[in-house]
């Protein structure tokens, strides 16, 4: 059974600092997603990573995928308050016929002035 684990689960950081969120998964997968969720809101798609070594960047967020290590990272550069949210990674199980994504527990990020 595919398991997805994120760490840390809670992250409090100061504006302007850098940090990385880690997402480990237990079986082979070809596709990994990062989502953002604000309190009481739905999930917003950030990145789709499709192959080993994939790197995508948007603004202060950069995501990468290492399929051999079964690891994805979400790197935050020079954090700002607007990035405060919960971030989820989700993995597409092998031989998946549909959007049965397996989500991690989420990382609740709080950026303080």
Partner 1 sequence: DTGVSQNPRHKITKRGQNVTFRCDPISEHNRLYWYRQTLGQGPEFLTYFQNEAQLEKSRLLSDRFSAERPKGSFSTLEIQRTEQGDSAMYLCASSLRGRMNEKLFFGSGTQLSVL
Asked if 90 touches partner 1 (CB under 8 A), the answer is yes
Question: In the numeric block, which tokens belong to residue 24?
Answer: 């480990």
- Positions 38 through 67 that interact with partner 1 (CB under 8 A): 41-45, 48, 50
Which residue number, 99 or 113, has a Cβ lying nearer to partner 1? 99
Question: 47 by DSSP, 3-state: which?
Answer: strand
On whether the CB atoms of residues 3 and 102 are closer than 8 A, the answer is: yes
Q: Which two tokens stand for residue 98?
A: 């549909």
Residue with the two structure tokens 């100061």: 14
Q: Does 1 bind partner 1 (CB under 8 A)?
A: no
CA distance 101 to 35: 12
Is residue 28 a contact point for partner 1 (CB under 8 A)?
Answer: no
Number of residues that bind partner 1 (CB under 8 A): 22
Report which of 67, 73, 28 is spatially closest to residue 51, judged by C-alpha positions: 67
Segment contacting partner 1 by CB under 8 A, of 11-19, 60-68, 69-77, 94-102: 94-102
C-beta closer to partner 1: residue 101 or 111: 101
Site residues (vs partner 1, CB under 8 A) = 4, 33, 35, 41-45, 48, 50, 88, 90, 97-106
């Amino acid at each position: 059974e595919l398991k997805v684990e994120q760490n840390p689960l809670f992250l409090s950081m100061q504006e302007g600092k850098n940090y990385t969120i880690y997402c480990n998964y237990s079986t082979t997968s070809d596709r990994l997603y990062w989502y953002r969720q604000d309190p009481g809101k739905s999930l917003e798609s950030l990145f789709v990573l499709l192959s080993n070594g994939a790197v995508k960047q948007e603004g202060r967020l950069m995501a990468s995928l290492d399929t051999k290590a079964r690891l994805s990272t979400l790197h935050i550069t020079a954090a700002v308050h607007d990035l405060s949210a919960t971030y989820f990674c989700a993995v597409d199980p092998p031989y998946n016929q549909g959007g049965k994504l397996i989500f991690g527990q989420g990382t609740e990020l709080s950026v303080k002035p």
